[in-house]
Amino acid sequence: MILIAGGAGYVGAHVNKILNQQGYETLILDNLSYGHPEFTRWGTFIEGDLDSPELLDKIFQEYDIDAVMDFAAFTYVGESVEDPQKYYLNNLKNTLNLLQSMQKNGVDQFIFSSTCAVYGNPERIPLTEDHPLNPINPYGRSKLMVEQVLSDYAQAYDFNYISLRYFNAAGADPEAQIGEWHQPETHIIPLVLDVAAGKREDIKIFGTDYPTPDGTCIRDYIHVCDLGQAHLKALQFLEKNEKSEVFNLGNGNGFSVREVIDTCQEVTGKEIRAIETEARAGDPPVLVGSSDKARQILGWKPQWSDFKQIVETAWKWHQKL
């Protein structure tokens, strides 16, 4: 059985559905602080918090857990700057609780949701895994700290992990049973789709004089189901190899904020009012990753390489919100 911490959230829920479709038994542990009970329909669900070592020990004793995936993190960069303690307690301390309980109970396989935010401002594009690690906010630092802990654990103990550095997760389950649903919403695609759906007046473009062809930021959008497939491959890798690895997960293509808005306009057929505003602090102009390592070692290949199709799945889900 696979324990999925944070399995009621956006990425965790998609991974959970895919694992169940592949015949894995899963146990979701989520405190529903940001997750949705509607997303827990596959596998077993326990509402609970990683800050309870007792609960974690109880779970490992009661269920036959082979591997753990950890999605239970806070992910708002701005909030992490204003309230770093919230991020270090949840993203770092609670992950340490999980690792401690795994060790105590003899569970030695871990898959970690990391982020391209561990790189900070890119020195070169596309980003590869050996790029210097200089996160520029507490969110990115909390993720890098866990990666460092994992590396030390793998050296010292009988323990293997895969750390997956996501670029911008996007899109939704093609069956639209689950999708991107953050409260509050800060991400560009769901915000633009809110405008298309008439729930929001306009989208603010954060910065128009970046050194990019159209002056707006460029990001690498990767379909959440492709992230799900990568977790499946990572699990199979750990089952076969006693080895730890770190992989980028991106599409390798960049899209600017204006291109995102144009694509959403095309997919939805709605006029989208965009307003040019100041840049958001801490946004690098371009973040595009190379996923060659995951392609070579995991045999992973994104199936959703067409950005328009990614937005189509997001829109199908968004209309149900």
Q: Does the footprint of ligand UDP cover residue 280 (CB under 6 A)?
A: yes
Query: Which CB sits closer to ligand UDP, 243 or 280?
Result: 280
Using CB under 6 A as the binding rule, whether residue 213 contacts ligand UDP is answered as no
Question: Per rule CB under 6 A, is residue 249 in the interface with ligand UDP?
Answer: no
C-beta of residue 97 within 8 angstroms of C-beta of residue 31: no
Give me the least distance between CB of 188 and ligand UDP, in Å please: 4
- C-alpha to C-alpha distance for 165 and 142, rounded to whole angstroms: 13
Active site residues: 139
Secondary structure letter of residue 129 according to DSSP: T
Least distance (Å) from ligand UDP to the CB of residue 187?
4
Burial of 251 per CB tally in 10 Å (0-12, 13-18, 19+)? buried
Check binding of 73 to ligand UDP (CB under 6 A): no
Report the DSSP beta bridge partners of residue 28: 4, 45
What residues between 99 and 138 interact with ligand UDP by CB under 6 A? none
In the complex with ligand UDP, the residue whose CB is nearer, 13 or 169, is 169
Residue 301 makes contact with ligand UDP by CB under 6 A:
no
Which residue among 101, 163, 168, 263 contacts ligand UDP (CB under 6 A)? 168
* Token output for 181: 């649903």
Q: Which of 41, 58, 182, 187 binds ligand UDP (CB under 6 A)?
A: 187
Stretch that binds ligand UDP, among 13-21, 63-71, 98-106, 185-193 (CB under 6 A): 185-193
Does position 205 interact with ligand UDP (CB under 6 A)? The reply is yes
Q: Are strands 26-30 and 44-47 parallel, antiparallel or unpaired?
A: parallel
> Alpha-carbon distance 274 to 75, whole Å?
25
Comparison of 22 and 277: residue with beta carbon closer to ligand UDP: 277
User: Is 283 among the residues that bind ligand UDP (CB under 6 A)?
Assistant: yes
Q: Candidates 95-103, 199-207, 236-244, 294-302: pick the segment binding ligand UDP (CB under 6 A).
A: 199-207
Q: Which of 22, 85, 148, 186 binds ligand UDP (CB under 6 A)?
A: 186
| Other residues' Cβ atoms within 10 Å of the Cβ of residue 219 | 25
111 phi and psi, to 5 degrees? Answer: -120, 125
Please tell me whether residue 295 binds ligand UDP under the rule CB under 6 A: no
Beta-carbon-side half-sphere exposure of residue 311 (alpha carbons within 13 Å): 22
Q: Could you tell me where the beta strands, DSSP code E, fall in 31-170?
A: 44-47, 67-70, 109-115, 160-166, 168-170
Instruction: Select 2 or 222, whichever has its Cβ closest to ligand UDP.
Output: 222
- Write the interaction track for ligand UDP spanning residues 250-279; mark x where CB under 6 A is met and - where it is not: -------x----------------------
Asked if 188 touches ligand UDP (CB under 6 A), the answer is: yes
Q: Tokens representing 7?
A: 């399995």
Q: State yes or no: residue 320 binds ligand UDP (CB under 6 A).
A: no
Question: What residues form DSSP beta bridges with 166?
Answer: 115, 249
260 residue type, one letter = V
- Spatial contact of 147 and 112, defined as CB atoms under 8 Å apart: yes
How many CB atoms sit inside 10 A of residue 135's CB?
20
The residues of the shown chain that bind ligand UDP, judged by CB under 6 A, are 168, 186-188, 191, 203-206, 217, 219, 257, 280, 283
